[in-house]
Structure 1
Amino acid sequence: MKYSALFSLAMLVTLSACGGKTDPLKAARPKTVPASGKVTYNGTPVEGAQVNLIPATNTDPAAFALTEADGTFTLTTYDDGDGAVPGNYQVTVVKRSVETILNPDDPNGPPVGSKEESFLPKKYGSVSSTDLQANISSEGTDSLEFSLTD
């Protein structure tokens, strides 16, 4: 019984020493703030589009999201839905489907190619051609609006 109590006490001390430590990598990350918004194309909400925020400075991390059926999105930088680091960003928005092309003579064999279809104007899919921008304030935002047109 004496050894059991001593063992329990030793385990308690050991386990409590393991808890409560801060991950040094997480502690070094720039702070994120909540950030969300909506994407429309010619006035219609866009479902399944990838929204990418590319920072104006090379020191901050990018943020990304996938739009819901109503076009809304919540940005992620490190952990799901954690938002974005405050700052200025260029924004790209893409929605694509990729169809695998099989060999008609060997449909069970390896694919012979693929066909990609873009559902949004290509100008929004590249940092060099997009005119979309976002500013994330230190308080965060829930009103990012990206209205895409032809």
Structure 2
Amino acid sequence: MISFLSLRSAVCLSLCLAASLVGCGNGDRVTVYPTKGVVLFEGKPMAGGGAITFVPLTALEGKAAGGVIKEDGTFVMSTYEEGDGSIAGEFRVMIHQSTMQEPETTPDADGKAAASRSEPTQTVAKDAQIPRVYSDPNQSPLTVKVDPNGSNEALSLELKRM
């Protein structure tokens, strides 16, 4: 269940999806444009942080970009290198919110890792959790356009209850 993913798991999932969408090519890099912004839920920065992926609307004409959403809702997109931005085009936006914290591990007497808690802890209240549709690469209603001739460094992505 996506709401049980830790920030690390959500970021890994997002980056794996982005890498799988990039595919193999001739090694030529497409120009990227600095792309950053903030994710808002009901007008406030999205609680808990998470991961964000831009999935090209036309799979044959683009590369995915991914990033980490910080606790204050801000994000910076990456395509080839950390923080380099996104290629130009139109994208469906996938957002994974971190709502749970994984159990902490502490070494036991033998030096092996042992969990101090057996269950994840909820870190984002139910009323602050975004609808799951935003994490669906085919059904997320959120889209964004990265413009090669404009500023893509102040994107504001508004999420709403459904």
| Alignment TM class, shorter chain as reference | 0.5 to 0.7
Closer, same or farther: CA 78–99 of 1 in aligned 2, 3 Å:
same
Other-structure match for 1:84: 86
| Kept in 1: contact 2:50–2:97 (CA 8 A) | yes
- Are 1:35 and 2:35 an aligned pair? yes
How far is the alpha carbon of 1:129 from its aligned partner? 2.3
1:122 is matched with: 132
1:141 to 127, 130, 152: 152
- What residue in structure 1 maps to residue 14 of structure 2? none
SS of the residue corresponding to residue 123 of structure 1 reads helix
Give the deviation of 1:78 after TM superposition: 0.8
**TM-score, length of structure 2 as denominator length:** 0.61
Residue of structure 2 in register with 1:58 after alignment: 59
Once the two structures are TM-superposed, the CA of residue 70 in structure 1 deviates from its matched residue by: 2.5
Displacement of 1:121 after TM fit? Answer: 1.2
Equivalent position of 2:20 in the other structure:
none
Change (3 A) 1:132 1:138: same
User: 1:42, CA displacement in angstroms?
Assistant: 1.6
Matches within 5 A, 1:95-106: 95-96=97-98, 97=100, 99=102
Whether contact under 8 Å (1:52, 1:65) holds in the other structure is yes
Is the contact between residue 98 and residue 114 of structure 1 (CA under 8 Å) also seen in structure 2? no
- 1:4-32 per-residue CA deviation (whole Å, 9 max, x = no partner) reads xxxxxxxxxxxxxxxxxxxx83xx11110
SS at match of 1:91: strand
Corresponding pairs, count: 119
C-alpha contact 2:92 2:137 (8 A) present in aligned 1: yes
Does the aligned pair in 2 maintain the 1:74–1:83 contact within 8 Å? yes
Q: For 2:38 and 2:102, locate their aligned partners in 1 and report how far apart those are by CA, in whole Å.
A: 27
Aligned position for 2:69: 67
Residue of structure 1 equivalent to 2:5: none
Per the alignment, do residues 137 and 68 of structure 1 end up closer, same or farther by CA in structure 2, a change over 3 Å counting?
Answer: same
